[in-house]
Amino acid sequence: MIQTVAAAAPTEAEIRAAIDLAWSEFPRDDPRNKLAEAVEAFADPIRWKLNDVDLEGDSTEFAQLGDAIWKDLRPSEAARLLELLYEAEKRALAGALELILREYVDAALTFAGEHPEAPRGPVGDEPSV
């Protein structure tokens, strides 16, 4: 039976380590995967529907809708647009992840400050007592 002990409140590093450990132990449940899909989806209207980009392998069905922001982009222009969108996705994903983690870490730290003597379980590779 694992016992918990009253100890000093966990630090931000310990809270983040506990989150990282949970994600590494259960990678299929890692919410970062769904977050990445959601962030990518925000670019889809620009990437696929709102520009008439005819790159090799791309569908041109949206070009017939007549609501594109850009029409008949040159391959170099289309490639640059896609590159900029990809860079924006990476920044958005990193920023969103940090914002979400920051909010939950702040909540945990607030709880720890309000209840510093609350029993703690092991964190990461810390042995249980």
**Tens of pLDDT, residues 78-125:** 889 889 999 999 999 999 999 999 999 999 999 999 998 888 876 555
Beta strands in 1-129 (DSSP E): 5-6, 119-120
* Residue 72: inside a domain: yes
* Residue 105: inside a domain: yes
Q: Which domain holds residue 83?
A: 31-119
CA distance linking residue 32 with residue 75, whole number of Å: 32
Q: Does residue 72 have a pLDDT over 90?
A: no
pLDDT-based confidence at residue 7 (cuts at 50, 70, 90): low
How many domains are there within the chain? 1
Q: Does residue 65 have a pLDDT over 70?
A: no
pLDDT-based confidence at residue 22 (cuts at 50, 70, 90): confident
Q: Does residue 129 have a pLDDT over 80?
A: no
Is the dihedral angle over the CA atoms 69, 75, 81, 85 positive or is it negative?
positive
Kindly tell me the burial class for residue 76, based on how many C-beta atoms sit within 10 Å of its own C-beta (0-12, 13-18, 19 or more).
exposed
Q: Write down the pLDDT at residue 26.
A: 86
* Residue 40: inside a domain: yes
- In tens, the pLDDT along 30-54 reads 888 899 999 988 887 777 655 555 5
* Residue 5: inside a domain: no
Using an 8 Å Cβ cutoff, are 21 and 126 in contact?
Answer: no
Q: Write down the pLDDT at residue 13.
A: 93
C-alpha distances (whole Å) from 123 to each of 11, 14, 48, 92, 96 are 11, 7, 44, 29, 25
3-state secondary structure of 4: coil
* Residue 4: inside a domain: no
Q: Write down the pLDDT at residue 103.
A: 96
Question: What DSSP character marks residue 124?
Answer: T
Cβ-based neighbour number of residue 88 at 10 Å: 14
Q: Does residue 5 have a pLDDT over 70?
A: no
